[in-house]
Structure 1
Amino acid sequence: MTPLPITFERLRKTYGDYTALDDVSLRIEPGEFLTLLGPSGSGKTTLLMALAGFIRPEAGTIMIGERDVTRLPPNKRDIGIVFQNYALFPHMSVRANVEYPLKLRGVREAEARKRAMAALERVKLGAFAERDIAALSGGQRQRVALARAIVYEPRVMLMDEPLSALDKNLREHMQFEIRRLHDDLGITTIYVTHDQREALTMSDRIAVMEAGRIRQIDTPQEIYHRPRTAFVAEFMGEANILPAEAAGAASQGQLVIRAEHLHLGEVDGETDAVVLSGHVAALAFRGENWLVQLALASGQEVMLSIPSSRAEGCENLRAGDAITAHAARQHVHHLLEAGTDA
């Protein structure tokens, strides 16, 4: 099965005065795992539903391969979809749920059963084929939804926050399972989430969305370490945004320093580093790390994340104590102007 590219060209969707998609253009490469990431109301689900055919944009074009699907109904788009609530039929068995899309397409019963069982084996649920949906755990239901989405061998897979209902440990396990399934099938996958760690773990590229626009699209490493705007920097984790002059930089504009890149104490003379001094405003122990809030003389507060493995002395700090922190200049990144698009 050959994966297909997907192209959005100047897509626009409004609801009254609210603009859900604002001139969005994007190309997803064949076989790529791309995540649409952003807060609620950023447009990520609207973009996914437009691709699925459940929402029709007022302007723009959607291409799957060489085919314009902008006005095609959902069942003509050759797309597998996994929804947040799984959308399984509780009155059917596991196997019957997976067979259902094949029967809609007129596949004969024997062939439908064969393909359904193959899909269930792929998600490690072959032994559960005759179980009732109500008898399954959340993780097992999620696997049934995956099997149903892949059973008719679509060349594009859409996933709308499929792990949000699972507990933390199971969610992290399923992230690897979904990525493995994507790699095994060789299909193009578009995944929607508001969870930054999920996006970083699973994606080839991440498109960070805000207010109906893509603010940055890049690899997980680039998005995290070299954000282009203050919004992307702060959305992707503990980011300290500082005026360049506050960090002793000769340039203008803003700098971003990740909380985990700041170290307590003076810097040795051989290290090229940004040095920040002030007093402890607050601190908290979180098990794997200590969070230390450093108040600068300017009044700005900077967050440090100190791993417990090198946090000697943190337990002795108190609010008001004078401290110095530093970050190697290689971990200090200049931002473009806030709001600049990708």
Structure 2
Amino acid sequence: MKSLPITIDSVRKAYGSYVALDDVSLDVRPGEFLTLLGPSGSGKTTLLMALAGFVRPDSGKFLLGDRDITRLAPNRRDIGIVFQNYALFPHMNVLANVEYPLALRKTPKAEARRRALEALARVKLEGLSERNIAALSGGQRQRVALARAIVFEPRVMLMDEPLSALDRNLRETMQYEIRRLHDDLGITTIYVTHDQREALTMSDRVAVMNSGRIQQIDTPQQIYDRPSTRFVAEFMGEANILAPGSVRTIDGGGASRETLMIRAESFHLDAKFVGQDGVALDGTLRAKAFRGENWLLTLAPDGGQEVLVCIPSAFAGDCAELAAGQRLTVYASAAKVHAIPGATA
């Protein structure tokens, strides 16, 4: 089935004086996996539920292809949904849960069973069709929810933090499985999460939201390496926002004149790793912590705010011998230094 684009046009939603969505516009490409990422209260779930039809926007519209679905009932939008709590029926077995969307659409029983079994096979649950929902693990319940969402062959898939209840290892496995399923089916997918690594791992593009607005939309690498605002920079990882003049260039060109972002893991303890166009930062070591795969150093530059420096254990050298109060110089390549227009440190 051909996937469709989604157009979100100037959507606004307020609850009294609280504005949950503030004139949000977004174009999602056919077959794209796009993630809405942001902290609690950023508006990402409200936007997803409005697109699904469970929240009525105050203004704006939603288009699926060239069809305006803004006022359509949820079951008429041709959208599959996977909820955070799975929303499975405990009194039905696995097969009945997956068949349910087809029953609503008056699909003949024999065809519904065939399609439900095919959907279960796609999510690797062959042989569990008669199992009670209560007897399933969290990961298996998630797979049932996925099978139920795809069984009627929707043109769009919406997922609201579907992995939040799973432990870390299972969560990472399911990230791969959901992305594989998306690629196999080619369904246009909008995925909601507050987990930055999850968004970076799974998405074609990421839309970072805050206070009901989209702060930036771009590829995962661009969002991480080239954030357009201070909020995006700090939300996406261990970002150091440095005032003009905080760093000096290795080639002697002088101090920076812009507000810069350098991620903690972009620093090195040896200048040879950054080249002649790199930058240097001098300061006093305040604290250090061993985190297994890396060392986290807290550095206090002269006259500036503290900076986080993350050194991989394989390149940590004498990090274990470093002591608080020791003078230290760290380096970063020019490619890892990003100026944020209009930001203040």
TM range (shorter): over 0.9
Q: Which moved more, 1:245-254 or 1:209-218?
A: 245-254
Q: What is the match of residue 319 of structure 2?
A: 314
RMSD over aligned CA atoms reads 1.4
Is structure 2 residue 301 aligned with structure 1 residue 292? no
Q: What is the match of residue 310 of structure 2?
A: 305
Q: What is the match of residue 196 of structure 2?
A: 196
- Tell me if the contact between 2:287 and 2:299 (Cα under 8 Å) persists in the aligned partners: yes
- Tell me if the contact between 1:253 and 1:337 (Cα under 8 Å) persists in the aligned partners: no
Equivalent position amino acid for 2:178 in 1 = I
Structure 1 residue 267 displacement after superposition: 5.3
Three-state SS of the structure 2 residue aligned to 1:163 is coil
Structure 1 residue 338 displacement after superposition: 4.1
Q: What is the match of residue 264 of structure 1?
A: 269
Equivalent position amino acid for 1:176 in 2 = Y
Is structure 2 residue 50 aligned with structure 1 residue 47? no
Q: Quick one: distance in 1 between partners of 2:171 and 2:15?
A: 33
Cα-to-partner distance string for 1:133-186 (whole Å, 9 max, x where unaligned): 111110000000000000000010000000000000000011010000000001
Cα-to-partner distance string for 1:218-266 (whole Å, 9 max, x where unaligned): 0001001111111001100011000132123666431100111101145
Structure 1 residue 308 displacement after superposition: 0.5
Q: What is the match of residue 110 of structure 2?
A: 110
State the aligned residue count: 339
Equivalent position amino acid for 2:264 in 1 = A
> Quick one: which of 282, 288, 305 aligns to 1:283?
288
Is structure 2 residue 159 aligned with structure 1 residue 159? yes
Structure 1 residue 319 displacement after superposition: 1.1
- Tell me if the contact between 1:11 and 1:25 (Cα under 8 Å) persists in the aligned partners: yes
Q: What is the match of residue 251 of structure 2?
A: none
Q: Quick one: distance in 2 between partners of 1:326 and 1:256?
A: 13
Specify whether residues 250 and 312 from structure 1 end up closer, same or farther in structure 2 by C-alpha distance, changes over 3 A only.
closer
Unaligned runs of 5+ in 1: none
Specify whether residues 163 and 334 from structure 1 end up closer, same or farther in structure 2 by C-alpha distance, changes over 3 A only.
same
Specify whether residues 268 and 217 from structure 1 end up closer, same or farther in structure 2 by C-alpha distance, changes over 3 A only.
closer
- Tell me if the contact between 1:156 and 1:188 (Cα under 8 Å) persists in the aligned partners: yes
Is structure 2 residue 332 aligned with structure 1 residue 323? no
Mapping 1:1-342, distance limit 5 Å? 1-248=1-248, 252-266=257-271, 271-338=276-343
- Tell me if the contact between 1:295 and 1:301 (Cα under 8 Å) persists in the aligned partners: yes
Q: Output the TM-score relative to the length of structure 2.
A: 0.96
- Tell me if the contact between 1:9 and 1:26 (Cα under 8 Å) persists in the aligned partners: yes
- Tell me if the contact between 1:294 and 1:302 (Cα under 8 Å) persists in the aligned partners: yes
Equivalent position amino acid for 1:291 in 2 = L
Q: Quick one: distance in 2 between partners of 1:182 and 1:119?
A: 13
Cα-to-partner distance string for 1:56-105 (whole Å, 9 max, x where unaligned): 11111110111001111101100000000000011111001000111011
Q: Quick one: distance in 1 between partners of 2:334 and 2:98?
A: 54
Q: Quick one: distance in 2 between partners of 1:271 and 1:176?
A: 40
Q: Quick one: distance in 2 between partners of 1:253 and 1:322?
A: 25
Q: Quick one: distance in 1 between partners of 2:273 and 2:179?
A: 43
Q: Quick one: distance in 2 between partners of 1:272 and 1:103?
A: 65
Q: Percent identity?
A: 68
- Tell me if the contact between 2:267 and 2:332 (Cα under 8 Å) persists in the aligned partners: yes
